[in-house]
Structure formats: C-alpha cells, structure tokens
C-alpha cells in the first residue's frame, strides 16, 4: 500500500528536523546529510523498530535548503517569539531544528500556516515526553506564523 501524500509530507517534515539536528550536532554539510537521508534513511528497515517511512523528497529538500538559505531570517523570527532571556542559542537543539524546518516552510508560504503549526507541534510531541515542549513549540510557531502570514489569522 502506498502512503498518502499527507503522510509523505509529514514524514518529510519529521526527517527534515532530524537532518537539521544532525547537521548542527555533527557539523556536516547540507549535501552530506541530504545524501545520507536519500540513500539510507528513507524506507530503511530496523529489526526492533520496523520500517522507516518513505517521504516526500521534494518537500524534504525544500525544507533543508530553505532552513539553510534563510537561517538568519528564521532565527531572528524565532528570537522575536522567544523571551529575551532565552535566545535561540539557549534552547534545546531539537527545538531549534523544529523551528528552522517550520520557519523554512512558513517563509516559503506554500502551505497554510495552521497546517505548518499542527505538523511541527506533532513532531515536537514525538521528540519530547512532556507537554511543556509541545506547548512551547506551539506558542513560538504561532508567533512565527503570524509574522510571516499576518492576514491568515
């Protein structure tokens, strides 16, 4: 059975967050990480975890490229949404990756902002056990979406 387009897009967002985290944690270049995901992560089978999902490669690539190309703009938007005592450099690197991937999608303006918020809040829930990070991600993403799409709310 072929996954639906929405599932492929959700998987692309999830993988983009992982890839951005990996790039920051390992100081690997965009092309290196992108190639690893294309060849090893999409559809990979693990004994104890089952099969990894396929993903919408175009969205995955667009999110990675957009996050790298517009990182300064996205980080500034994120900082404006954060408390001045907690700039983006001080937050959890997984949350940073979430904000950068979501920011890339918001800046591209190809997806309704409410969809972007919902998708990336769900990704935050997948990475964190408590609801605190999910609520935090929701608040920051809402502020970022209002900045990039002021007429959508």
Instruction: Identify the pLDDT of residue 48.
Output: 52
This prediction's pTM: 0.90
- Nearest in space to 79 (alpha carbons), one of 65, 93, 91: 91
User: How far apart are the C-alpha atoms of 91 and 83, rounded to whole Å?
Assistant: 11
**pLDDT per position as a tens digit, 1-44:** 466 888 889 989 999 999 999 999 999 999 999 988 888 777 66
Instruction: Identify the pLDDT of residue 71.
Output: 96
Instruction: Identify the pLDDT of residue 8.
Output: 86
Residues of the chain short of pLDDT 50, as ranges, are: 1, 46, 50
Instruction: Identify the pLDDT of residue 45.
Output: 53
Contacts of 152 (CB under 8 A, 6+ apart): 112, 113, 114, 145
> Are the C-beta atoms of 81 and 144 separated by less than 8 Å?
yes
């Amino acid at each position: 059975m072929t996954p639906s387009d929405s599932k492929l897009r959700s998987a692309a967002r999830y993988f983009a967050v992982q890839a951005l985290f990996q790039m920051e944690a390992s100081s690997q270049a965009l092309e290196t990480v992108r190639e690893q995901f294309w060849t090893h992560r999409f559809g990979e089978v693990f004994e104890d975890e089952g099969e990894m999902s396929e993903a919408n490669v175009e969205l995955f690539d667009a999110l990675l490229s957009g996050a790298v190309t517009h990182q300064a703009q996205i980080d500034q938007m994120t900082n404006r949404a954060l408390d001045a005592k907690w700039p983006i450099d001080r937050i959890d690197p997984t949350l940073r990756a979430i904000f950068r991937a979501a920011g890339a999608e918001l800046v591209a303006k190809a997806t309704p902002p409410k969809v972007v918020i919902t998708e990336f809040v769900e990704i935050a829930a997948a990475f964190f056990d408590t609801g605190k990070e999910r609520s935090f991600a929701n608040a920051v993403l809402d502020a970022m979406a209002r900045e990039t799409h002021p007429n959508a709310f």
